[in-house]
A and B are shown apart, each in its own frame.
Chain A
């Protein structure tokens, strides 16, 4: 017996074994298994891209990213035109889609409100998100490429069509998160609507808009279908936007994977790794920008 005397157990607070507890454990196991299943393809994709692509990409390190594309059967490096093409095409698409999309989102959230036109635009943007990317490519092929030949700009237009709804939706969400009290504070100081949007609302939503746009860029950089019949297939670096055929990493992966030659397939894997790294760095930038911006706001 202890000094404090006998402890009486007035309540039984021990966990009870019940069917509910069994169900809970079962579901926990199932969810853990689902996470494991999801991880399998992700890990396998990463492992194969890095092992097969890494061998060729890092074997000729910077030259793989800069040299011209050799003839199909020849071994060795060269994805320079595709790297440059991806940068030019995605960059141009970004320059088209991001300003348009952000302006559209500003209209929808700040000016249009619940008007019929705004609702129509919002609905169309939603529908456009679901349009298969190859349809975007076909559309640009018909309205642009058939008149102006294969060129980087056609591909950029197709990618811009693809990015536009993503940028609009992401930006509108971010603008909606800006508290109305900030707009009121600005109006109460005698600011006009335009000034309020430019100097208060946009900076407050800025980090979100930047990361949303960067995710759209990363998505566009990996698209193949819209480029298939808009940019052609260049083997030498072409920095011109409107003249001559161009190429892109995603299109090169597709073409090289079809070849029966191992040398070409290897270059395809290298291109795949280059693309993964490009998209990865964009995502990291998006995260860093967001984290930095939220830190400033606290």
Chain B
């Protein structure tokens, strides 16, 4: 792999080039740009977060701040805890038997794991898109209308409006407007994933969490989803987990780099190594381990 700075530049322009490209590649880190990113209000503050599966402490000591209308990427090798941390941000880990956390996940100052917090209410504000497209075995329309219906919207005209708006936002409307009543399972993988994004944004969450949203997609579908993310960040705060460093470099404003380490007892655990503005992580990382990873020396 080439040296860091040109690498991010060229990767960005080559993969999002042509008519799919909507935004400029990751620019060099200028102090004014970093200041601009840092001035965005904080949505999440993660403080001393440990995650346990049963007695096993899988992730240790994570500290993060996620900012409004920015894309924050979690990168790192397999087993480094990036997905685990992501799933703490909307309490999806509650669904895994034996999973618990210590430390704080503050959402606008409210501890999500506090005593008076309902996971259901949390998830209405913090949506999630999963690794594998998982549309319901229902029609395209019913998939998108599912969330609004949960929130008590019954009016047909209102639902129609939300469905159209969400599908347009997910850049899917023109492809499916004539077959809204068809099963969502008849769509291609890339369409299904964009449908899942439409379904998530139909409830107008503040935050959209994406767990490797492109890992099951081909490069063209990936490029479309990445373009979509850049559009969506006007309205939503996005946190994305990705295996793919180039993807993080292409789309994100902030990057958190995780690794898997062995503790003295020989147990593997995930750890946050470095969290910074993406341009700085990819050009001038503070930690040697980050540099090794992004230059391809390991992982």
Residues of A within 8 A of B (CB): 113-114, 179, 181-192, 195, 199-200, 203-204, 296-298
> Closest CB-CB distance, B169 to chain A, in whole Å?
16
Q: Which of A114, A195, A297 contacts B137 (CB 8 A)?
A: A297
> Closest CB-CB distance, A233 to chain B, in whole Å?
48
- The CA of A192 and the CA of B90, in the complex, are separated in Å by 14
Query: Which residues of chain B from 142 to 188 have any CB-CB distance to chain A below 8 Å in the complex?
Result: 146-147, 150-151, 183, 185-186
Would you list the 8 A-B pairs with minimal beta carbon distance, nearest first? A190-B124, A188-B128, A181-B134, A189-B147, A190-B123, A185-B134, A297-B137, A191-B150
Can you give 8 contacting A-B residue pairs, CB < 8 Å?
A: A187-B119, A188-B128, A189-B123, A189-B150, A189-B200, A190-B121, A191-B146, A203-B138
> Closest CB-CB distance, B262 to chain A, in whole Å?
30
B92 touches A184 (CB 8 A): yes
> Closest CB-CB distance, A179 to chain B, in whole Å?
7
- The CA of A190 and the CA of B130, in the complex, are separated in Å by 15
- The CA of A190 and the CA of B125, in the complex, are separated in Å by 8
16 additional contacts (CB under 8 A) given A179-B134, A184-B92, A297-B183? A182-B136, A183-B95, A185-B196, A186-B146, A187-B123, A188-B123, A188-B128, A188-B200, A189-B127, A189-B150, A189-B203, A190-B151, A195-B150, A296-B183, A298-B183, A298-B186
Cβ–Cβ < 8 Å partners of A182 in chain B: 134, 136-137
- The CA of A132 and the CA of B199, in the complex, are separated in Å by 50
> Closest CB-CB distance, A176 to chain B, in whole Å?
16
Query: Which residues of chain B from 58 to 99 have any CB-CB distance to chain A below 8 Å in the complex?
Result: 90, 92, 95, 97
Residue B100 is within 8 A (CB to CB) of chain A in the complex: no
- The CA of A114 and the CA of B97, in the complex, are separated in Å by 10
Q: Which of A113, A114, A181 contacts B130 (CB 8 A)?
A: A181
Closest residue of chain B to A297 (Cβ to Cβ) is B137
Residue B120 is within 8 A (CB to CB) of chain A in the complex: yes
Cβ–Cβ < 8 Å partners of A203 in chain B: 137-138
Query: Which residues of chain B from 92 to 132 have any CB-CB distance to chain A below 8 Å in the complex?
Result: 92, 95, 97, 119-121, 123-125, 127-128, 130, 132
- The CA of A297 and the CA of B138, in the complex, are separated in Å by 8
- The CA of A246 and the CA of B199, in the complex, are separated in Å by 55
Cβ–Cβ < 8 Å partners of B147 in chain A: 189-190
> Closest CB-CB distance, A205 to chain B, in whole Å?
10
> Closest CB-CB distance, A106 to chain B, in whole Å?
17
Q: Which of A114, A183, A185, A297 contacts B185 (CB 8 A)?
A: A297
Contacts A184-B92, A200-B136, A297-B137 known; A190 to B120 CB distance under 8 Å? yes
Residues of B within 8 A of A (CB): 90, 92, 95, 97, 119-121, 123-125, 127-128, 130, 132, 134-138, 146-147, 150-151, 183, 185-186, 196, 199-200, 203
> Closest CB-CB distance, B198 to chain A, in whole Å?
12
| Residue in B92, B137, B150, B185 with the greatest tally of chain A CB atoms within 10 Å | B137
Contacts A190-B147, A297-B137 known; A184 to B95 CB distance under 8 Å? yes
- The CA of A135 and the CA of B113, in the complex, are separated in Å by 53
- The CA of A122 and the CA of B227, in the complex, are separated in Å by 49
> Closest CB-CB distance, B209 to chain A, in whole Å?
8
Cβ–Cβ < 8 Å partners of A183 in chain B: 95
Contacts A181-B132, A195-B150 known; A187 to B137 CB distance under 8 Å? no
Cβ–Cβ < 8 Å partners of A192 in chain B: 120
- The CA of A189 and the CA of B230, in the complex, are separated in Å by 22
Closest residue of chain A to B138 (Cβ to Cβ) is A203
- The CA of A49 and the CA of B5, in the complex, are separated in Å by 84
| Residue in A183, A188, A191, A297 with the greatest tally of chain B CB atoms within 10 Å | A188
> Closest CB-CB distance, A285 to chain B, in whole Å?
22
A190 touches B134 (CB 8 A): no
Cβ–Cβ < 8 Å partners of A185 in chain B: 130, 134-136, 196, 199
- The CA of A182 and the CA of B151, in the complex, are separated in Å by 19
Cβ–Cβ < 8 Å partners of B151 in chain A: 190
- The CA of A114 and the CA of B119, in the complex, are separated in Å by 22
A189 touches B92 (CB 8 A): no
- The CA of A200 and the CA of B142, in the complex, are separated in Å by 11
- The CA of A288 and the CA of B127, in the complex, are separated in Å by 38
Contacts A182-B136, A296-B183, A297-B185 known; A188 to B150 CB distance under 8 Å? no
Closest residue of chain B to A293 (Cβ to Cβ) is B137
Cβ–Cβ < 8 Å partners of B203 in chain A: 189-190
Closest residue of chain B to A200 (Cβ to Cβ) is B136
Cβ–Cβ < 8 Å partners of A184 in chain B: 92, 95, 128, 130, 134
B136 touches A188 (CB 8 A): no
- The CA of A191 and the CA of B195, in the complex, are separated in Å by 18
A187 touches B92 (CB 8 A): yes
B146 touches A298 (CB 8 A): no
Cβ–Cβ < 8 Å partners of B150 in chain A: 189-191, 195
Cβ–Cβ < 8 Å partners of A186 in chain B: 136, 146
Closest residue of chain B to A206 (Cβ to Cβ) is B137
Cβ–Cβ < 8 Å partners of A188 in chain B: 90, 92, 123, 127-128, 130, 200
- The CA of A297 and the CA of B125, in the complex, are separated in Å by 30
- The CA of A199 and the CA of B138, in the complex, are separated in Å by 10
- The CA of A195 and the CA of B147, in the complex, are separated in Å by 11
Cβ–Cβ < 8 Å partners of B186 in chain A: 298
Cβ–Cβ < 8 Å partners of B92 in chain A: 184, 187-188
Cβ–Cβ < 8 Å partners of B138 in chain A: 203
